[in-house]
């Protein structure tokens, strides 16, 4: 019985890992060939009504692509870029919760990227973000 | 016993079927709670509600090529230094350093140097037991594209992303943090050295703009100070640097953004102005050089 439990745990973990990997590949595809990744993959586990926050510095004269996806394919993933004075610079809520958007910065700005998952069934999920630039 | 096995296998098969059909289905609340529990218990993921980003070293040094700053090989960490790195912490830090150096030589289209630096990166990755993060196809593509500047930059960024992912999924985030730190320190070393030598205002501004990334780096490294004394030493040195950065004036003005929905782009017109005195620039340059020496020697 113990061995079956271990086998089950291992297989289940691998399946979850595969699911997260699929999400990561999905986000990677949003960056396309024209954007160079910043070399990091940002993942955050979000419970119902929780919000994740990413602290970023986005350099002037650079065009960025912010891309997201989550393990809950049917849920809405909302991301918002705000400055440190809490001004909203962009939110995908204004654009049908699009999974990616380009931001062109004329000057360097320290920002926060906030993310939350809106799910009718109040489930928890993992949000994955990547930042590309050109 | 066989009955249990059949039930378990059926569950796994059903779960797998559901996963392939995830576009059209929504799982139950309980299954997702199981997912969260399993992730928590297996530590597959770093669970955190606040994450910090460090700019890519390639992105930081790209400004050098944009400003037509002359190539200077003396700025690089010599590949012969590799043999000095006897512990995994120094190896990880210098994997970041050499990644930044490879980005630099690649930007200046120095193919032979790129080959040498890539070889060293491969060796360090193997010694750190993270060479699995590079798949064979990626290595082949990098080797094929050592003369193709744009492709190589993409491949290198993706490789560092693969390493980042590999370390996060294998509960070795502390190693990933050192790679990030090494890359940032090396790129800041380049910026400060060129800023001092050329007196270029844009380079000085870029140094000042790294005030916030420095603060993020300290926060990230601080999570691991109990792991090994090298983290505490690095944090202490970076805090000394941060004290110098406190003299830099940063003024931010919010301006309305302009969005073009058809192109899926928003232009941000808010502005940050950086004021850094020559004296502070000198002090910062000296301090970054000290930190870099601690890392590479």
Q: In sequence order, what DSSP letters do the residues of B43-90 get, joined into one string? A: T-S---SEEE----HHHHHHHHHHTTPPP-GGGSPPGGGGGG--SHHH
Indicate the range of A77-86, B71-80, B133-142, B288-297 predicted with least confidence.
Answer: B133-142
Q: For residue B297, give the DSSP letter.
A: -
Indicate the range of B6-20, B112-126, B133-147, B186-200 predicted with least confidence.
Answer: B6-20
Residue B292 confidence (pLDDT) above 90:
yes
Of B5, B165, B268, the CB nearest to A41: B165
Indicate the range of B39-43, B237-241, B245-249, B261-265 predicted with least confidence.
Answer: B39-43
CB–CB contact B161 A40 (8 Å): yes
Alpha carbon distance A105, B158 (integer Å) = 23
| pLDDT on residue A24 | 87
Q: How far is CA B215 from CA B54, B100, B283, in A?
A: 10, 20, 18
Choose from B266, B274, B276 for mutation: most chain A CBs within 10 A.
B266
| pLDDT on residue B10 | 44
Q: What is the mean pLDDT of chain B?
A: 82
CB–CB contact A89 B266 (8 Å): yes
Cβ-contact A58, A129 below 8 angstroms: no
Q: At what angle do helices B173-198 and B201-208 cross, to 10 degrees?
A: 150
What is the phi/psi pair of residue B147, to 5°?
-100, -5
Residue B12 confidence (pLDDT) above 70:
no
Kindly give, in sequence order, each residue whose CB lies less than 8 Å from that of residue A110, ignoring residues fewer than 6 positions away. A55, A56, A57, A83, A84, B212, B272
- Identify the residue with better confidence: B249 or A73: B249
Q: At what angle do helices B111-127 and B88-107 cross, to 10 degrees?
A: 160
Of A52, A62, A124, the CB nearest to B49: A52
Average pLDDT of the segment spanning B125-140:
80
CB–CB contact A1 B4 (8 Å): yes
- Identify the residue with better confidence: A45 or B242: B242
Of A1, A73, A105, the CB nearest to B22: A73
Average pLDDT of the segment spanning B24-28:
34
As to burial, measured by CB atoms within 10 angstroms (0-12 exposed, 13-18 middle, 19+ buried), residue B221 is buried
Q: How many CB atoms lie within 10 A of CB B251?
A: 9
Cβ-contact B160, B57 below 8 angstroms: no
Residue B233 confidence (pLDDT) above 60:
yes
Alpha carbon distance B96, B90 (integer Å) = 10
| pLDDT on residue A34 | 87
- Of the spans A50-54, B16-20, B63-67, B208-212, which averages the highest pLDDT? B208-212
| pLDDT on residue B33 | 43
- Identify the residue with better confidence: B253 or A20: B253
Choose from A90, A106, A108, A115 for mutation: most chain B CBs within 10 A.
A108
Residue B258 confidence (pLDDT) above 50:
yes
Residue B37 confidence (pLDDT) above 80:
no
Tell me which residue of B74, B245, B177 sits closest to A39, measured CA to CA. B177
ipTM value greater than 0.85:
yes
Residue B112 confidence (pLDDT) above 50:
yes
pTM assigned to the model: 0.83
Give the nearest chain A residue to B266 (CA atoms). A103
Indicate the range of A52-66, B2-16, B202-216 predicted with least confidence.
Answer: B2-16
User: Confidence band (pLDDT; 50, 70, 90) for B19?
Assistant: very low
Tell me which residue of A57, A80, A65, A55 sits closest to B274, measured CA to CA. A57
User: For chain A, which ranges sit under pLDDT 50?
Assistant: none
Indicate the range of B1-15, B64-78, B134-148 predicted with least confidence.
Answer: B1-15
| pLDDT on residue B131 | 78
């Amino acid at each position: 019985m113990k061995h079956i439990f271990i086998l089950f745990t291992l297989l289940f973990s691998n399946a979850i890992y595969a699911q997260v990997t699929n999400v990561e590949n999905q986000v990677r595809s949003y960056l396309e060939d024209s954007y160079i990744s910043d070399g990091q993959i940002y993942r955050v586990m979000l419970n119902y009504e929780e919000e994740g926050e990413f602290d970023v510095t986005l350099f002037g004269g650079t065009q960025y692509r912010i891309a997201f996806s989550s393990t809950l394919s049917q849920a809405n993933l909302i991301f918002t870029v705000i400055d440190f004075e809490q001004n909203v610079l962009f939110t995908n809520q204004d654009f049908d919760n699009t999974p990616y958007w380009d931001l062109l910065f004329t000057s360097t700005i320290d920002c926060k990227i906030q993310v939350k998952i809106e799910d009718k069934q109040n489930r928890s999920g993992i949000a994955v973000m990547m930042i590309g630039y050109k | 016993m066989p009955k249990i096995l059949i039930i378990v296998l059926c569950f796994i098969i059903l779960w797998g079927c559901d996963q392939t059909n995830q576009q059209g289905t929504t799982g139950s609340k309980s299954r997702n709670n199981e997912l969260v529990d399993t992730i928590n218990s297996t530590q597959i993921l770093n669970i955190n509600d606040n994450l910090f980003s460090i700019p890519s070293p390639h992105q930081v040094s790209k400004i050098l090529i944009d400003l037509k700053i002359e190539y200077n090989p003396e700025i690089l960490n010599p590949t012969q230094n590799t043999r000095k790195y006897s512990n995994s912490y120094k190896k990880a830090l210098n994997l970041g350093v050499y990644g930044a150096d490879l980005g630099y030589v690649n930007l200046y289209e120095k193919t032979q140097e790129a080959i040498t630096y890539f070889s060293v990166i491969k060796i360090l990755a193997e010694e750190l037991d993270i060479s699995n993060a590079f798949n064979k196809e990626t290595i082949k593509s990098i080797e094929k594209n050592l003369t193709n500047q744009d492709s190589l930059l993409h491949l290198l960024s993706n490789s560092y992303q693969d390493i980042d992912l590999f370390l996060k999924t294998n509960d070795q985030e502390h190693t990933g943090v050192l790679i990030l730190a090494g890359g940032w320190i090396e790129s800041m070393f380049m910026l400060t050295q060129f800023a001092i030598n050329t007196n270029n205002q844009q380079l000085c501004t870029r140094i000042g703009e790294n005030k916030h990334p420095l603060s993020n780096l300290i926060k990230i490294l601080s999570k691991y100070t109990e792991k090994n004394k090298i983290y505490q030493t690095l944090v202490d040195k970076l805090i000394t640097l941060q004290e110098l950065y406190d003299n830099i004036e940063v003024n931010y003005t919010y301006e309305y953004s302009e969005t073009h929905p058809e192109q899926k782009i928003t232009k941000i017109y808010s502005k940050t102005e950086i004021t850094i005195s020559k004296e502070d620039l000198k002090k910062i340059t000296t301090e970054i050089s000290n930190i870099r020496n601690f890392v590479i020697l």
